[in-house]
Amino acid sequence: MGSALGPDWHEGLNLKGTKEFSHKIHIETMCEVKKIYLQEEFRISKKKSLPFPRDHSNQSVTTDKEVWPVYVELTNEKIYGCDFIVSATGVTPNTEPFLCGNNFDLGEDGGLKVDAHMHTSLSDVYAAGDMCTASWRPSPVWQQMRLWTQARQMGWYAAKCMAAASLGESTDMDFSFELFAHVTKFFNYKVVLLGKYNAQGLGSDHELMLRCTKGQEYVKVVMQNGRMMGAVLIGETDLEETFENLILNQTDLSSYGEDLLDPNIDLEDYFD
């Protein structure tokens, strides 16, 4: 069991591929990783790997003649050679070392329950990051997700709360818990997730608005009752600050309809 990957996990690794490639993604669904082979192990096994399919209409079944540093065998019996493998399957709170002899209240996901000041059910014990479960009433556009960014925010806030408690002072909820926001890069595309970007907890009472320019940008907006509740921005859209303000301010956008994502309208200036 390890921690969530931070922004610098790849430092010291050579991430250059064996050959030039474009931004093409192949997805294998309904399967799991069965086994991973190092180069010599794969040679001894005498198994055959497949080249990655060139497109959806040409599912290649020929043998891959490349020699790769590592190979992955899937439960659908397919084997692919890779430069390296990144396993990203989520985080489970590792609270077991702290439970013996203590009476912590646990959340449904197994994390230590913390209140709005990161305080656990035991006196003078605080928790933050992957091992805690946020048990306060959250903002309508914030949710806990075990990411390094959120763990860092919780750590800062927990330290602030502990310092305030030691001085007998009160402290307000940190602004970072008003709106869920995460920025990363995926296949060299900028990815911004805001608010209820996947309509988490909104039920069926919501609608999605999309704008997509192939090879350049993808914009998805989650709307509820004319208000923006979340968004996914991929590429250099320059919309993140504007959408952040629209979600936080809960501006009524019902009169704009689908024109809200019209690329000919400069939203940044319009809602400035």
DSSP state letters, 171-220: -PPPGGGTS-EEEEEETTEEEEEEESTT-TT-TTS-EEEEEEETTTEEEE
**CB-based contact 95:74 (threshold 8 Å):** no
Distance between CA 131 and CA 51 in Å, rounded?
40
Question: pLDDT exceeding 70 applies to what percent of the chain?
Answer: 88
Model confidence at 200, in pLDDT bands (50, 70, 90)?
A: very high
Q: Is the confidence at residue 13, as pLDDT, over 90?
A: no
Model confidence at 69, in pLDDT bands (50, 70, 90)?
A: very high
Q: What is the pLDDT of residue 8?
A: 72
Q: Is the confidence at residue 111, as pLDDT, over 90?
A: yes
Assigned CATH for 96-177 = 3.50.50.60
**CB-based contact 231:221 (threshold 8 Å):** yes
Q: Is the confidence at residue 254, as pLDDT, over 90?
A: no
Distance between CA 85 and CA 64 in Å, rounded?
18
In a 3-state reduction of DSSP, which class is residue 5?
Answer: coil
Q: What is the pLDDT of residue 89?
A: 73
Q: Is the confidence at residue 55, as pLDDT, over 70?
A: no
Q: Which fold has domain 181-270?
A: Enolase-like; domain 1 (3.30.390)
Tokens of residue 121, six digits: 């059910």
Q: What is the pLDDT of residue 90?
A: 77
Q: Is the confidence at residue 23, as pLDDT, over 70?
A: no
Model confidence at 260, in pLDDT bands (50, 70, 90)?
A: confident
Q: What is the pLDDT of residue 18?
A: 64
Q: What is the pLDDT of residue 17?
A: 66
Tokens of residue 168, six digits: 């007998």
Q: What is the pLDDT of residue 155?
A: 95
Distance between CA 73 and CA 54 in Å, rounded?
19
Report, as an integer, the average pLDDT of 115-141.
Answer: 95
As a whole number, the mean pLDDT across the chain is 87
Residues 6+ apart with CB under 8 A from 178: 139, 141, 142, 248
Q: Is the confidence at residue 6, as pLDDT, over 90?
A: no
In the chain, CATH 3.30.390.30 covers: 181-270
Q: Is the confidence at residue 38, as pLDDT, over 60?
A: yes
Tokens of residue 184, six digits: 């990363």
In the chain, CATH 3.50.50.60 covers: 96-177
Residues 6+ apart with CB under 8 A from 153: 174, 176, 177
Q: What is the pLDDT of residue 243?
A: 93
- Whether the full predicted model's pTM is greater than 0.75, yes or no, is no
Residues 6+ apart with CB under 8 A from 34: 73, 74, 75
Tell me the C-alpha to C-alpha distance, in Å, between residue 182 and each of 71, 195, 231.
Answer: 31, 9, 11
- Give the total residue count for the chain: 272
Q: Is the confidence at residue 21, as pLDDT, over 80?
A: no
Question: DSSP letter string over 109-147?
Answer: TSPEEE-TTSB-SSTT-B--GGGEEE-S---TT------
C-alpha 136: how far from chain center = 22
Query: Look-up: residue for tokens 């303000």?
Result: 245
